[in-house]
A and B are shown apart, each in its own frame.
Chain A
Amino acid sequence: MERDVILTKRTQLSAALPSCALAMSLSILLSAAAFARTVKDQTGRIVTVPENPHRLVSLAPNITEIVYALGLGDELVGNTDNCDFPPQAKDKPHVGAMVNPSLERIVALKPDLALGTPEANRRETADQLERLGIPLYGVTASTLEGTLASIEDLGRILGRAAQARSLAAQMQARIDRVEKQTEGRPKPKVLFVVWYRPLITVGPHTFIADVIRAAGGIPVDENLKGEWPRLSLEELLPLDPEVILFPQTESFSPSKQEFQTLPGWKDLQAVKEGRMFFVSETIMRAGPRLVDALEELAGVLK
C-alpha cells in the first residue's frame, strides 16, 4: 500500500518536471507570438492590439485606402461594400455596410484586428466586436493634418511606421506646395453641398472644410455646428457664396442650369456667375487621396 503511494508520488513528480519545463517554454513561445499592446485609439477607446497584425478587416473606404497605401493590401482579408479604391479592394470579401456590418462575416474572416472610424461606423459595432474578442482600432480626423496623423498612427499600429511617415511627408509636401501657390490670392467663400434639398453642408471642423481652406477658399459659414449641418436658404442668401461645390456622386441629379431657376439659389453670386463645380468624391475620404482632392480643388478655385 505504502509503496504504491510513494511510487505514484515519484512518478507524479518525474512527470511534472518535464511538463513544467514544457509549460514554461510554451508560455514563453506563446507570449512572443501573441504579444499584444494595450493602447488608446484615436476615439479614446482602450484596445488591445496584436504586435504584428496580419489579418485586417477595414470597416471604412478611407481606411481601406490607407491600408493599401501602406503596402498591406495582402494583409487585408475583408472590407465593406463601399470600399472601391484601389480597384482590387472591390475583390476582397465584403462584410456588408459600414453602419451595420455582418458580424458573422467578420468573425468568419478570422481577423486579428479590425479598423474603423466613428465617421462611418457605429459605436455599437465596436462594442459587439469587442465582446466577440476582435479588437477594433479606431481613427478619426477633423483636419488635413489630422488625416496625416491618422495615417501615421495606423502605420505604427500595423508595423509600417516608416512607410506611413514617408507617405505623410509626401502628402505634407504637396499640401505645402498648394498652400504656397494659393498664398496672397483672394479667398472666395465656398459652399460645399452635401445635399441640396434640404441643403446640407459641412461643418467648419471637418477635414473637408480644412481642404477648402488649404485650397485657398473659406468655408461659407465658420459658425455652423456639427459635421453635416443643415442650412436654410434664407441663411444662405446673406452668406452669398462665391463658389459652390458638389461632390461627384451617382445620386446627384440637378444641373447648373437648373439651379439658375431654383428659387433661393438663382440670386446667389456663384449661381449667377456659374461658379458651380463638381469635384471628385475623394474630398469626402480622409485617406491618402485627400491631397489629390486638395490639388484638384486648388485648380478649381484658381
Chain B
Amino acid sequence: MTLPATPRNVMAVALAMLLLLVLVVLLSLTLGAVHVPLSEVWRALTARGGGSEATIIVLDIRLPRILLAILVGAALSVAGTGLQALLRNPLADPYVLGISSGAAVGAIFALWLGGRIASASPLAAFVGAMITMLWVYLLGRSGGRLASYTLILAGVITASFLSAIILFMLTLLSTRDVRGIAFWLMGDLSVTPLAELRLLAPVIILAIAGLYLLAKDLNVLLLGAEEAAHLGVNVPRVEAGVYILASLLTGLAVSTSGAIGYLGLLVPHLGRMLVGNDHRMLLPTAALGGAILLVLSDTLARTALAPAELPVGAVTAVAGAPVFIYLLRKTAG
C-alpha cells in the first residue's frame, strides 16, 4: 500500500500511530509482576502525588521504563530507516552493521577509564558509533560502489571483531562491574532514572526531526547517488547528515539501554509495508512504530517470567533474527 505523502496523509498516519502508541502504553502500565487493578492505575495517573504502592509502581517504576522504551525504540528505528536509505540496502541496521557494538565499545571504554569520564559515556558511545559506521562504510565499498553483500559482511565481521574487543575489556574489569555491564549489553531498560530521560528526550527528538528534514532528499537518494546529484541534491551533505544523526541516535540508545538488536531492521520494513517508500511518511511511521514495538517487547520481557525479568534485547532478537533471514533470502532470490 502506498499513500501519497501529502501533509494531510502524513498527519493522519502519525495521529493513528500515536493513538496506537497511547493504547499500548496504557496496556503496558497495567501489566507487571505485581497486579495493579485498572482503577488503581487510573487513580495513579490522574490524581498526582499520593505515595501509595500502586502510585509508586505505576509512576516511578513502569512509566519511566515505558518512556525510555519509546525514546530508544524510536531512535533505533529511525536510525535504521536512515541507514537503509543512505546505504541503499534493506538489510542495514545499527546492530547488524556493528554500529551498536561500536557504541558499546565506546561506552565501556569510558566506564573503564572511570571517574568523571564515565559520566560522558553517551558521548563516547556516539564517537564509537561514528567511527564504526565510517569504517564499515569504507570497508563495504568495492570499486567505489556500495555492494549489498560486501557491506553486510563488512558489518558482521566488524561486529564480531568489536564483540571480541568488548570481551577483552570485560576481562580487565572487576567482576562486579562486569555483572552490570554484561546485563546492560543484553539490552536493559530498567535503570535509567527520570532525570536522565529529561536530557535524553530533547536530543533524540531533535535528531529525529533533523533526519525528517532530509526526508525528501532521501527519497531522491534512493534512485542512486549520481541521479540524485543530477536532480540537485547535495549528496555529500545529505550523506554526512544521515551518517551523523544515525550515529547519534544509535549512540544515545546504546549508552542508556545496551545493544537492543533488530529493531532498526524490522521497523523500517514494517513501515514500508504499511505506508510505502516515501520517507516523509516512512520516518514518522518508523519512529512511532519502533516506540510501539519496543514498549511491547519490554512489557513481554518483564511479564513473561515474572518476577524474573528477561533482557529486552533477547526478546527483540528472537523476533528480529528470523525476519533478517527472510529478508536475506528474499533479496538473494
- Point out residues on A near B: beta carbons under 8 Å: 81, 94-97, 99-105, 107-108, 110, 118, 122-124, 127-128, 131-133, 226-228, 230
Picked from B32, B33, B56, B308, the residue with its CB within 8 Å of the CB of A132 is B56
Q: Can you report 11 residue pairs joining A to B where beta carbons are below 8 Å apart?
A: A94-B307, A95-B307, A96-B309, A101-B307, A105-B306, A105-B307, A108-B34, A118-B176, A122-B183, A123-B176, A131-B193
Known: A107-B61, A108-B34, A128-B190. A122 touches B180 (CB 8 A): yes
Residues of the A chain whose Cβ atoms lie less than 8 Å from the Cβ of B179: 99, 122
Q: Say yes or no: A128 contacts B191, CB within 8 Å.
A: yes
Known: A95-B307, A102-B307, A107-B53. A226 touches B175 (CB 8 A): yes
Q: Say yes or no: B175 contacts A228, CB within 8 Å.
A: yes
List CB contacts (< 8 Å) of B54-95 with chain A: 56-57, 60-62
A97 to B302, CA, bound (A): 12
Q: Is B174 an interface residue (CB 8 A)?
A: yes
Q: Say yes or no: B32 contacts A104, CB within 8 Å.
A: yes
Q: Say yes or no: A107 contacts B306, CB within 8 Å.
A: no
Residues of the A chain whose Cβ atoms lie less than 8 Å from the Cβ of B188: 100
Residues of the B chain whose Cβ atoms lie less than 8 Å from the Cβ of A133: 56
A97 to B180, CA, bound (A): 14
Q: Say yes or no: A104 contacts B57, CB within 8 Å.
A: yes
Min CB–CB distance B59 → chain A (angstroms): 11
Known: A103-B190, A122-B183, A226-B174. A131 touches B60 (CB 8 A): yes
Residues of the B chain whose Cβ atoms lie less than 8 Å from the Cβ of A102: 32-34, 302, 306-309
A105 to B175, CA, bound (A): 27
Min CB–CB distance A240 → chain B (angstroms): 25
The chain A residue with its CB closest to the CB of B58 is A104
Picked from A97, A101, A104, the residue with its CB within 8 Å of the CB of B62 is A104
List CB contacts (< 8 Å) of B185-233 with chain A: 188, 190-191, 193
A123 to B191, CA, bound (A): 10
Residues of the A chain whose Cβ atoms lie less than 8 Å from the Cβ of B32: 102, 104
Picked from A105, A122, A228, A230, the residue with its CB within 8 Å of the CB of B33 is A105
Picked from A103, A107, A123, A128, the residue with its CB within 8 Å of the CB of B180 is A123
Min CB–CB distance A83 → chain B (angstroms): 13
Q: Say yes or no: B56 contacts A107, CB within 8 Å.
A: yes
